[in-house]
C-alpha cells in the first residue's frame, strides 16, 4: 500500500491579504492599504502596507501577521527587516506584507510608487 503525500493547501491570496489586515488591525496598525498589482505585472499579486508608531509596535504587528498567516498554513518565503524594526517585509510570494515605522513609510512612499494599482477593500470597518 502506498502512502499519499499530503501537500498542505495554501490559502488564496485575498485571504492572506484580509487575514494580514485583521492581524495588523488587532495590534492597532495605522493606515492599512492593500494594493492589487495583478494588472501591473508587479513582483507580487498584492501588497499589504501598514504603519506603526514605534519600533516595538512594528515588531508586534509583523509578529501578529506572521502568526495569523501561519495558522492558515501560510509561511513566508522570505523575511527582511526584523532586526531593524523600521520596515519589516514578509514575502508570501503572491502577497508581500510591508510593516513600516511611520517615518520610514513617509520616506519611501511605497503607496505612491505603486499608485497605478487598484485598492482592495479590507473591510476593517466591521472588524471593531
**pTM higher than 0.85:** yes
Q: 46-52 and 30-36 as β-strands: parallel, antiparallel, unpaired?
A: antiparallel
CATH T-level topology, domain 30-119: Beta Polymerase; domain 2 (3.30.460)
Domain ranges of the chain: 30-119
Each residue's pLDDT tens digit, 22-74: 999 999 999 999 999 999 887 899 999 999 999 999 999 999 999 999 999 99
Question: Which helix H or strand E contains 7, and what residues bound it?
Answer: none
Task: Judge contact between 4 and 13, C-beta under 8 A.
Answer: no
Within a 10 A sphere around the Cβ of 78, how many other Cβ atoms?
Answer: 10
The DSSP output letter for 86 is S
List beta partners, residue 119: 35
**pLDDT at position 8:** 54
Helix (H, G, I), strand (E, B), or coil: what is residue 87?
strand
Report the pLDDT value the prediction gives residue 93, as an integer from 0 to 100: 94
The overall average pLDDT reported for the chain is: 91
Question: Would you state the cell numbers that stand for residue 17, as one nine-digit string?
Answer: 491579504
Amino acid at each position: 500500500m502506498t502512502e499519499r503525500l499530503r501537500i498542505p493547501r495554501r490559502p488564496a491570496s485575498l485571504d492572506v491579504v484580509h487575514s494580514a489586515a485583521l492581524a495588523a488591525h488587532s495590534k492597532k496598525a495605522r493606515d492599512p492599504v492593500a494594493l492589487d498589482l495583478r494588472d501591473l505585472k508587479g513582483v507580487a499579486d498584492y501588497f499589504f502596507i501598514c504603519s506603526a508608531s514605534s519600533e516595538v509596535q512594528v515588531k508586534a504587528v509583523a509578529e501578529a501577521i506572521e502568526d495569523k498567516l501561519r495558522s492558515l498554513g501560510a509561511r513566508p518565503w522570505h523575511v527582511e527587516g526584523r532586526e531593524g524594526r523600521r520596515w519589516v517585509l514578509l514575502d508570501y510570494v503572491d502577497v508581500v506584507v510591508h510593516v513600516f515605522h511611520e517615518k520610514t513609510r513617509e520616506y519611501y512612499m511605497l503607496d505612491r510608487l505603486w499608485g497605478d494599482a487598484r485598492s482592495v477593500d479590507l473591510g476593517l470597518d466591521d472588524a471593531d
